[in-house]
Amino acid sequence: MDLKTPDKKEWTFLNSFNYGYGLLLTLGHGAKIPETTTGQVFALLYCIFGVPLFFGTIAIIMAHCVMPILATKMVTKSRRILLLQLVIIIYIAWNLCTAVFLYYQVFEDFWFSIFTAFFTGLTIQTPSASKFTPCTLLTLLVASTISAGIVILGFIIAASAYCPSIGVVKEIRSAADEANAPPKFTVIVDQAGDSKLAPATE
């Protein structure tokens, strides 16, 4: 009896979701494209507007996560460089975890799994995309999203350490100055000539 295996090019919900998610990440998916001209035009417009919004949203989330840390005066340039090194270590460790997943689920070749994990995280292409099932492809897309978030976090920390004139860094520093500004007081003298300090009101 012949068993019919699922066609990876069939437009099931999971395959369609993976395709749309992959367009946002700009990852390649082999020869799979929408069959109609309308679908292809929509995919093109979806990429033009979706990719900047997607990565911009990740950048905003990462910036808001790291700003409270960078906005303290205790975080000097040397500590920001140390924080950047920690982010690099986290990035490498995350890709190694992705490689372990690929080793057990897809390739059974650890070195090729490492290559695929780092190649997908660093570039805009998925090697051997035909070997992925829809579930493993979705997992790889999520892993790539986290990798992109870690890379953007590294860029933000590097900018705060090496490029202090950038607008975001100025906002961080102004927030730090406001948070660490000394308290202001006014001197109040009553009718008896006694004086006392009171918090200044703006």
pLDDT one-digit tens code per residue, 80-109 = 889 999 999 999 999 999 888 888 887 777
User: Rounded to whole angstroms, how far apart are CA atoms 182 and 49?
Assistant: 45
pLDDT at 87: 93
Secondary structure of 148-183 as H, E, C letters: HHHHHHHHHHHHHHHCCCCHHHHHHHHHHHHHCCCC
pLDDT at 202: 53
Which distant-in-sequence residues (6+ apart) come within 8 Å of 115 by Cβ?
127
Mark the ranges of the chain whose per-residue pLDDT is less than 50. Answer: none
pLDDT at 108: 76
pLDDT at 144: 86
pTM here is: 0.71
Token code pair at residue 132: 């992925």
User: Rounded to whole angstroms, how far apart are CA atoms 145 and 147?
Assistant: 5
